[in-house]
Structure 1
Amino acid sequence: MSPCLLPDRRLPCGPLSLSRLLRLGAIYGLLCLSGAALAWGAGERFWQVSGLGLILPGGGFFARADCASAVGLLQAGLFVASLLIFAAACLLWFATGNLLAPPAAWLLAALMAAWMQPGGASADSLRELCLLALCGLLSALLLSVLHAWRGRRRRAQANHYLIHEAAALACRFERPAEVLPAELSPQELKLMGFVLDRALQPVAEFEGIEWRDQFQTAAVRYQLHFMGYALAMARSTRLSAFSGYLDEAQQNLIHKQADHRVWRYWALENLWGNLRCDPDPIARENIMYTGFLATQMALYQASSGRREFSRPGSLPLRHPDGRIYQADLPALTAALQRGFGDSPFTLMACEPNWIYPLCNAIGVAGIRACDAQRGERHWAGLAARFRSALETEFITLGGAFVPCRSSHTGLALPGIGGAMPQALPSLFLNASLPDIALRQWLLLRRSLLDARGALRLTRFWPIDTGNYGYSPAAALAATALAAVEMGDREVAGVCLDALEQTCPARDESAQGGPFWRPRASVWAHAVELMARSGEAGAFRRLVTQPNLPASQPHISRAAYPEVRVARAVQHAGVLMATLYPGLRPGLQTLDLAGLRPGQIYLCSGCVETRVRADAQGAARVTVPLDARREILIQPHT
């Protein structure tokens, strides 16, 4: 596949974002005019000072601010403090969707200044404050013009690169080979054990899960989502003929999402972001729950061949007051389709008002996967609108993904976060818009390697987004994952090597302890497993080519952690598996299913040399498991 070019564009943002920005500017202009009118024309001191407070946060304190007196210094300090509090309120708005925080901070500063000021607003203070606001607006406008000029240059350079260099580079990317899958290495099995230990505990227990906050990237729901994605990936690439404890693990991770502690954040966000008193996390927006969970369910069903979450009522969310909300796969996909249809930007908001391309790429992967499983075409009806909105509103003039944009104001978050926010959308878009995914990966790749082919570690955030700890593990693992999916073995290799060097693992599994990377989050471990078990185009195939309900030979039961399955595949009716022992080597029993009823099967690597399938196509074998062992189950002819 050849990468598509960045479409021609002159404006720094899309038309809808521009209209929102102009509306924001008009509102601020009216606020300044109103404030100036009050400060100049009101007869009472309170309203004069309040008018100054409308022009800038804390503007009322500016009226008597100076450096010559204690009172003046206090007023200057209060003015600066008001600006800082307003900035903190804007940060809270971004982090939690709290729409009320910024205007509340602005208004409170205006009222406090009006209450504290002993005198009214002078013409000089009004003139100076208006000049300060004007300087700020002109500076912002100048920076925007400069940014647009640089963006147009970068877009032209990016398209030149895509035409003359990137297409040849993309041809070298690995393509899936028609060979039997490789097995998981011993270290990869231990990494899978890290995930399975958390997934196989009872649904009500969350031991080993990190509880930080439920509003941002360290939220529990994301840990559960990505552990589910990782197991689905490993299952589709290495363990397609093994259900065993993987079914239970993937189901548990989904059912944990119904715990009220996981989704109760939405009652607050909906209240202070949408001004709605409704705790239902499915009803509107909130793609960070609906889209991620729909994809988690869809990937489980695609990798397992099972379809239980497609049944209405299969995942009820029970509110403590007795209300029940249905979060089964049909309900989630219906909510996504409704949200995409209702959003003026097409892309849906996560926190109220904030739209993230990454979250939407994950959400549409869920719709695409459901279409493949049910023979529907919902994505086909959405694809053109989604592509257009993504290209015009959520990719910068310079050709990078916009991390997130405000649907109310049109404001976009600067490109912070390093490589990861640019890499992960390519992974998920490869299932829905693969040409854009390839283009964005090729453009990102230029900044990841230096002239010698060494990794530029400065491009990777040293903060783990999964737990806010000081570690580049999340950034390196996520970028490696995107590289693996795109077939870029060079970048994937150097990212995983850097992960080993900067965040070495601690292995106490031989003594019954865990295997983990200190300071790395649960989320980072899950993403690393997904990267190490993935292969070129594996996520796209998992989404678009789901497994059918299990009808081929497979291992249906094995004890965990006594049996570690490194590979289990079937080809032409022959079951092949590679097993490792857990802590207690010895004889282990495996249940087989999907066999031909009444058929005799020859067994290699087992105690039995042959078994006969019963009327349900099931059989049982015993395996002496004291070291790595390969087994082969094939029909006797």
Structure 2
Amino acid sequence: MTLSDTVSPIADVGESDLDDLASLRYLLDLALQPVDRWDGFTRLEQIGGSALRYQLNYVGYALSMAQYTRTPAFTGYLAEAQANMIRKMCDKKVWGYWATERLAGYLRWNPDPMVFANVMYTGFFATMLSFYETLNDDRSFDDDGSLPLVWSRNTRYDYGFHRIAQAIEHNMRQSPHTLYPCEPHLIYPMCNTIAVAGLAGYDRLHGTDLTDDLVVKIRESFHRNGYLMSNGRFRFGLGPAGLKLPAMLSNDAVMTYWLSCVMPDLAQETWENLRDRKITLRGGRARLATAPIDNLDVGSYRMGDAWAWVNVACAAREMGDAEVAGAVDVAMDDRFTRERSSAGARKLAGVSTWANCAYAFSRFIQAGSVRGLANGDVPAAWRTGPILAGAPYPDVLVAKAITDGTALDLVLRPGRGNRRTTLQLARLAPHGRYRVMGADRAELIADADGEASVGVTIAGRLELRVEPV
């Protein structure tokens, strides 16, 4: 099966089961704490894989994917959580590493993390913004100063999505490889693929063409400079003095689902090569042919192969390979124990925050959904129809929220015991009269702004429908 044979995720918005909701709670509990708090995040160092930025990125990606494939008609605390991750990216704890890295690697002092190299910050950040703006009617992070980076009392860099996108384009066009470095002089295809997906998303949202021929140039560079080897596998990266970092199973998986956004044919080839060479199915369980380099949790530097497994799960679901995805789930159930917090959040035990966020991401990916979200495959009805704009967290867990442009359908579950609560609705017809099924009243009338509130009693799975009379 090829990706082009699969059904678009928007044709069938799914309903989160209890385990999905528990994974979502893990993300929400990280994201809805005060912006200056870091409870639950791995904090070892800020240069490599344990850095805060990667954890924030994947919390954001996973929350966006949950909204896209399960609750496109819900903003509320889900949009707030994504926005919080974007704001946390502006904390000096996240980006302050670059001043030292640039000085050590290039003998230049400039703390600004956007203007030169450092795609591991700019590129990943752009894709967070692209996903968020695609799903939510919010452009508050676009303008200069909306994403302030404060270095000291006297030094501040006033960024927004506009300037971030311009920085990515500038860096790519200045680089002989088009791809540009993460750590000084080290270029990784994964990071640049994420970056160009974010840049293309910016163009789509803002009617610009900064990307132009960059996707073509990156593809050419993959071949010309040896990032893509003759055996169809990607090197992890290239460095100075002929340094060639080896291929990794997890890297091929990550490349698969991000290439799906901008080079779907190459994503398909990468996936088929990975499946044929590195994945074996036996008795409904998957086995991965990992190398020693794959047995490291990149988010904590502890031994373990969770990073490989969770990214294969992401890739299999994105490519619509239900057979592999199901077999990976079975194998992961055997290999990893789950840990639940007292509040009900669920994660893989003994695994880094970054790997756990990628695991949550995998639970919400459907066939072609990373590509769909990156490319703005959003029905007009989702942009204009009624939405659930507010619900208290964790009292109300939203398992499904979908609109056909006129009606709103919700599936809700209690998050903190059975209780009565109030929901906020928006984008109704001003002064419109609506029939309500599943709530504490049978009808409502929207106000002049198209907004209304409705009470519900949640004592288990609750279906609620709001439709025009």
Q: Give the structure-2-normalised TM-score.
A: 0.95
Alpha-carbon distance in structure 2 between the residues aligned to 1:476 and 1:422: 12
The partner residue of 1:579 within 402, 412, 416 is 412
Q: How far apart are the structure 2 equivalents of 1:185 and 1:471?
A: 28
Letter in 2 for 1:421: N
User: 1:457 and 1:438 mapped to 2: Cα distance?
Assistant: 19
Partner of 1:457: 288
Quick check: 229-238 or 370-379, which moved more?
370-379
Query: Could you list the runs of 5+ residues in structure 2 that have no partner in the other structure?
Result: none
Measure, in 1, the Cα distance between the counterparts of 2:27 and 2:72: 18
Percent identity over paired residues: 35
Q: Once the 2 structures are TM-superposed, how far is the Cα of residue 342 of structure 1 from its aligned partner?
A: 0.4
Query: Deviations 1:268-298 (Å, cap 9, x if unpaired)?
Result: 1100101101111011000000001111111
Q: CA deviation at 1:261?
A: 1.1
Q: How does 1:532-571 map to 2 (within 5 A)?
A: 532-545=363-376, 550-571=383-404
Give the Cα separation in 2 of the matches to 1:465 and 1:294: 22
Q: CA deviation at 1:173?
A: 5.8
Q: Which amino acid aligns with 1:497?
A: V
Aligned counterpart, 1:371: 203
Structure with the greater alpha carbon radius of gyration: 1
Name 1:231's counterpart in structure 2: 63
Counterpart among 12, 24, 29 of residue 197 in structure 1: 29
- How far is the alpha carbon of 1:177 from its aligned partner? 6.4
Shift of 1:627: 0.7
Compute the displacement of 1:321 (Å): 4.4
Please tell me whether the aligned partners of residues 588 and 624 of structure 1 are also in contact (alpha carbons under 8 angstroms): yes
Query: Which has more helix, going by share of residues?
Result: 1
What SS is found at the alignment partner of 1:354? coil
Q: CA deviation at 1:172?
A: 9.3
Match of 2:262 in 1: 432
Amino acid at match of 2:439: C
Q: Is the 8 A contact 1:503 1:520 kept in 2?
A: no
2: distance between equivalents of 1:212 and 1:272?
A: 20
Q: Which residue of 1 aligns with 2:221?
A: 389
| Aligned residue identity for 1:629 | L
- Asked whether the 8 Å contact 2:281–2:327 carries over to 1, the reply is no
Aligned Cα root-mean-square deviation (Å): 1.8
For the structure 1 residues 302 and 294, does the alpha-carbon distance in structure 2 shift closer, same or farther, using more than 3 Å as the test?
same
Q: Choose 443-452 or 613-622, whichever is displaced more.
A: 443-452
Question: Which of the numbers 280, 290, 300 marks the counterpart of 2:122?
Answer: 290
SS of the aligned residue for 1:455 comes to: strand
Rounded Cα–Cα distance in structure 1 between residues aligned with 2:311 and 2:154:
39
Equivalent position of 2:102 in the other structure: 270
* Counterpart position of 1:442: 272
Using a 3 Å threshold, how does the CA distance of structure 1 residues 198 and 396 change in structure 2: closer, same or farther?
A: same
What is the CA–CA distance in structure 1 between the aligned matches of 2:167 and 2:395, rounded to whole Å?
Answer: 41
Q: For 2:165, what is the secondary structure of its paired residue?
A: helix
Does residue 1:405 correspond to 2:238, yes or no?
yes
Indicate conservation of the 8 Å contact 1:471/1:503, yes or no: no
Match for 1:180 among 12, 27, 31? 12
Matched residue type, 2:207: G
Matches within 5 A, 1:511-550: 512=343, 514-545=345-376, 550=383
Unaligned runs of 5+ residues in structure 1 are 1-168
Aligned partners of 2:20 and 2:124: how far apart in 1? 25
Q: What CA deviation, in whole Å up to 9, does each residue of 1:222-267 have, x standing for no partner?
A: 0000000001111111110000101210111111111111111101
Q: Secondary structure at the match of 1:456?
A: strand
CA distance in 2, matches of 1:551, 1:571: 9
What does residue 447 of structure 2 align with? Answer: 614
In structure 2, what is the Cα distance between the partners aligned to 1:173 and 1:186? 29
Distance 2:303 2:95 in 1: 27
Aligned pairs, how many? Answer: 463
Question: Counterparts of 1:233 and 1:567 in 2: how far apart (Å)?
Answer: 13
Q: Look up the equivalent residue of 1:535 and give its one-letter code.
A: Q
Matched, 1:312 2:144: yes
Cα displacement string for residues 170-214 of structure 1 (whole angstroms, at most 9, x for unaligned residues): 379633367431201101101000010010011111111110111
Residues 68-109 of structure 1: CA deviation (Å, up to 9, x unaligned): xxxxxxxxxxxxxxxxxxxxxxxxxxxxxxxxxxxxxxxxxx
The answer (yes or no) to whether the contact 2:297–2:351 under 8 Å persists in 1 is yes
Counterpart secondary structure, 2:141: helix
Residues 171 and 333 (structure 1), Cα distance of their counterparts in 2 relative to 1, 3 Å cut: closer
Give the partner amino acid of 1:529: A
Other-structure match for 1:334 = 166
TM-score scaled to structure 1, two decimals?
A: 0.70
How far does the alpha carbon of each residue in 1:99-135 deviate from its partner, in whole angstroms, 9 at most, with x for none?
Answer: xxxxxxxxxxxxxxxxxxxxxxxxxxxxxxxxxxxxx
Structure having greater relative contact order (Cα 8 Å, sep ≥ 6) = 2
Query: Within 5 A, what are the aligned runs for 1:476-495?
Result: 476-495=309-328
State the match for 1:421 in structure 2. 251
Deviations 1:335-362 (A, max 9, x none): 1000000001110100110000000000
CA deviations 1:506-526 (Å, max 9, x no partner) are: 2354xx354222111211221
Provide the C-alpha distance between the structure 1 equivalents of 2:36 and 2:3, rounded to a whole number of angstroms: 48
